[in-house]
Amino acid sequence: MSDLLPHEKGFHVSWDQIHRDSRALAWRLDKHGPGEGGSWKAVVAITRGGMAPAMIVARELDIRTVDTISVKSYHHQAQGEAEVLKAPDAVMMGDGTGILIVDDLVDSGKTLEMVRQLYPQAHFATVYAKPKGRAQVDTFITEVSQDTWIFFPWDMAMQYVKPYRGAD
Ligand SMILES: O=P(O)(O)OC[C@H]1O[C@H](OP(=O)(O)OP(=O)(O)O)[C@H](O)[C@@H]1O
Ligand code: HPA
Ligand SMILES: [Mg+2]
């Protein structure tokens, strides 16, 4: 069974599951910001996967200032470069102090590494984490093995499944 391809070893996450896990992330981050009463200044979602978790975290923590950063990664090129396609508001961001940067998961850590270079004082939170990228994330909820592919609800649809036994 160990010769399964990464996409065959799947962790399938439902909307309900990501809602609960994102709420758990918000609970963990609540009152842990550097502002008054442990507050956070703003939530910044790493698009696109970070948008749903960021919305849930912002809702739970009553944060109305929400922005996005769009990063295009070049994982398959030798230099392993990543490019910012859309940056959040520069004045609001500063060096990242008080900013909660949210993504759905960290895998190799390349995306967070790049964003962290831009905003070294920000707090980085993901719902899921794989071992290679764990050092790049400050707070996460669930760890999965490196060879597990996480399937998110926005990439899936309900469909018929054949029973284990029975007519084809
Ligand atoms: O830790 P890394 O190896 O950098 O991988 C993690 C990133 O990859 C996925 O985004 P992707 O770039 O596929 O874009 P998307 O969010 O628009 O789907 C995921 O949402 C993370 O942002
Ligand atoms: O496991 C994953 N699932 C979905 N998107 C991803 N992008 C990097 N790793 C993953
Ligand atoms: Mg992403």
**Is 107 assigned a catalytic role?**
yes
Atom index in ligand 1 nearest the CA of residue 71 equals 12
Q: From the CA of 149, how far away is ligand 3's center (Å)?
A: 14
What b/e sequence results for 130-139 when a residue is b if at least 16 CB atoms lie within 10 Å of its CB, and e otherwise? beebeebbeb
What's this model's pTM, rounded to 2 decimal places?
0.93
Does the model's ipTM exceed the 0.95 cut? yes
**Is 155 assigned a catalytic role?**
no
Is residue 150 in contact with ligand 2, taking CB distance under 6 Å? yes
Q: What does the pLDDT read at residue 4?
A: 63
Q: From the CA of 147, how far away is ligand 3's center (Å)?
A: 18
Q: What does the pLDDT read at residue 92?
A: 98
Is 103 annotated in a binding site? The answer is: yes
Position 151 confidence tier, pLDDT thresholds 50, 70, 90: very high
Hey, is 27 helix, strand or coil? Answer: helix
Position 166 confidence tier, pLDDT thresholds 50, 70, 90: confident
Side by side, which strands form the sheet with 123-129?
82-86, 66-73, 42-47, 99-106, 123-129, 139-143
Is residue 109 in contact with ligand 1, taking CB distance under 6 Å? yes
Task: Name the residue with tokens 């295009």.
Answer: 72
Percent helix, percent strand, percent coil in the chain, to nearest 5 = 30, 25, 45
Is 110 annotated in a binding site? The answer is: yes
Position 47 confidence tier, pLDDT thresholds 50, 70, 90: very high
